């Protein structure tokens, strides 16, 4: 009886593996199937990079939340708010500024020192500022162009005084590329893999080529001859994780190759970033 049961279990496993497409002959191109045993290192790199990005982003978020709580006691104006913002602005090297503003959107304090030129300015017209002032809830913005060049994102928290009165908000501005690049460069060191990080609208947050950051994949003429790219982007916009293949140029744009990618999601306050790991699987 035990030998029969063992045989049945073995046959069942073989059947499941065949059905999943994981028993392929060597040299057969990978197609749009789920992960197989050979993908372990590939997927592990994605999992680890996504987790580290999530932890780093959560760390900036938690520090902004802590600052909002402290500012509820110190107030939002200088000089008492300075030590709170000074600490917040030093939490991560990718952070550009930490500022506070009142319920009308007027900047009351700012760090580091070179950001103090913002004090007294009315920024209530900005979408991210008006959002936190209206909803009085934590938020993270989409990528936006910075006045000094490059692209940034802000995390904002409402500030309430001890008696529950809404006092304004604290905003932490950081450069996603500077936060993401060290993590993904370490994850791809000595591997044939590459990463991209995108918003769900297709705007690029990270690419090995910094010139690609800020571009909208769905609007780039570069991709016009590769309709599969648009299919991938449409899939990315709705699916928090997935797997697909497509054709595109290799690194350096020397030739067209077939590529495979998996992706996962890093999210905060309703905003989602798709983290893609990519490798070449065959020449076109």
Tens digit of each residue's pLDDT (9 = 90 or more) over 181-231: 999 999 998 888 999 999 999 899 999 888 889 888 766 677 777 888 888
**Interval 232-258: pLDDT, tens:** 888 889 999 999 988 887 766 678 888
Overall pTM surpassing 0.85 (yes/no)? no
What b/e string do you get for 103-138 counting C-beta neighbours within 10 Å, with b at 16 or more? Answer: bebbbbbbbeeebbeebeeebeeeebbeebbeeeeb
Average pLDDT over residues 126-130: 90
Which pLDDT value is given to residue 283?
58
Instruction: Give per-residue pLDDT as tens, 29-81.
Output: 333 444 443 478 889 999 999 999 999 999 999 999 999 999 999 999 999 99
The average pLDDT across 149-168 equals 94
What domains can you pick out in the chain, each with its CATH number?
A: 54-175 (3.30.450.20)
């Amino acid at each position: 009886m035990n030998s029969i049961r063992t045989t049945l279990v073995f046959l069942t496993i073989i059947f499941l593996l065949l059905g999943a497409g994981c028993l392929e002959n060597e040299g057969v191109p990978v197609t749009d199937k789920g992960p197989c045993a050979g993908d372990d290192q590939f997927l592990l790199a994605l999992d680890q990079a996504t987790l580290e990005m999530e932890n780093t982003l959560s760390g900036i978020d938690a520090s902004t939340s802590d600052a909002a709580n402290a500012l509820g006691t110190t107030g939002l104006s200088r000089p008492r708010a300075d030590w709170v913002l000074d600490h917040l602005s030093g939490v991560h090297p990718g952070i550009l500024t930490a500022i506070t503003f009142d319920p009308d959107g007027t900047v009351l304090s700012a760090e580091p020192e070179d950001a103090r030129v913002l004090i007294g300015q009315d920024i209530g017209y900005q979408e991210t500022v008006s959002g936190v002032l209206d909803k009085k809830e934590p938020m993270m913005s989409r990528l936006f162009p910075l006045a000094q060049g490059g692209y940034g994102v802000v995390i904002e928290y409402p500030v309430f005084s001890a008696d529950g009165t809404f006092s304004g908000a604290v905003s932490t501005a950081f450069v996603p590329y500077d936060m993401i690049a060290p993590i993904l460069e370490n994850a791809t060191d000595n591997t044939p893999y590459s990463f991209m990080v995108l918003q769900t609208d297709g705007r690029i947050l990270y690419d090995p080529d910094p010139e690609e950051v800020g571009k909208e994949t769905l609007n780039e003429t570069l991709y016009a001859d590769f309709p599969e790219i648009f299919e991938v982007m449409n899939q990315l916009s709705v699916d928090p994780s997935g797997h697909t293949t497509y054709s595109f140029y290799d690194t350096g744009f020397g030739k067209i190759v077939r590529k495979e990618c998996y992706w996962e999601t890093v999210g905060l306050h309703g905003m989602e970033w798709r983290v893609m790991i990519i490798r070449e699987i065959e020449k076109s």
